[in-house]
Amino acid sequence: MPELPEVETTRRGLEPLVVGQTIRSLAVREPRLRWPVEPSLDRRLRNRTVQALSRRGKYLLMTTGAGTLLLHLGMSGSLRFLPERREPSRHDHFDLEFLSGAMLRFNDPRRFGSLHWCASPEAHWLLENLGPEPLGAEFSGEYLWRVSRGRRVAIKTLLMNGRIVAGLGNIYANEALFRAGIHPSRSAGRVSHKRLEQLVDAVRDVLREAIRAGGTTLQDFVGGDGKPGYFQLALDVYGKAGEPCARCKRPIRVHTIGQRATYYCASCQR
């Protein structure tokens, strides 16, 4: 599933290409995404100029003068900017067509992505309860200390709770916990203030490095230019069960936490 770095990579690549473009139409070939695409969306978007392209958690927000288009890439979705019209392929579910002749095309083999229209993004039901951005000032060791006290839930589960921190998915939670030396199954309430500060630093470092590398491509992800990400080359633990730890050379282990595969080093993480 595209996580925060992949969505931010997509946003950065598309921003200079779509901001300032005027929308001609929205051509929907498959409205049955995770939630049905609103039939009136084409009418709402016609002749609207894209003013900004931002991100909240794993969601892309395209702002126009009349409202905001809210898009989620789902498990396998990608957005491509095409300078001119091309024939769609099987899983190209919609095109946002511009007066310039260019278009933004959404491809999603599993159809878990979504497209919504909202007047006020911060009040939309998909966004209103999201926690702070992990790269923002509100996400800090002090914040994690406050929200984790008294919680028995695993620290990895806490990190992946979107109400606690927005957009931090499985790959990067695994990597950040390894860098911080914290065992993923440790109860969140038992992690010290100092170690939570180290964890926040690790989360930010991992995310920034992943964004610079264009995200992580394990199966489907490509950025707005159609190119894969390369952060998978720098992964320390994710997907490396049985391989030697980069620090101590003992084998990386894997087990399930919160129904997600969790990779860690039992020697380096406590």
Among this protein's residues, is 84 annotated catalytic? no
To which residue do tokens 């002090």 refer? 142
d(C-alpha 147, C-alpha 161), whole Å: 11
Among this protein's residues, is 43 annotated catalytic? no
Q: Which of 2, 5, 134, 184 is labelled catalytic? A: 2
d(C-alpha 235, C-alpha 178), whole Å: 10
Which tokens sit at 184?
A: 């993923």
Among this protein's residues, is 3 annotated catalytic? yes
60 beta partners: 55, 71
Angle at 128 between CA 258 and CA 92, to 5 degrees: 75
Q: Which of 44, 110, 253, 260 is labelled catalytic? A: 260
Q: Which of 11, 24, 58, 195 is labelled catalytic? A: 58
Of 189, 208, 181, the closest CA to residue 9 belongs to 208
Q: Which of 3, 6, 8, 133 is labelled catalytic? A: 3
Among this protein's residues, is 39 annotated catalytic? no
The residues that are catalytic are: 2-3, 58, 260
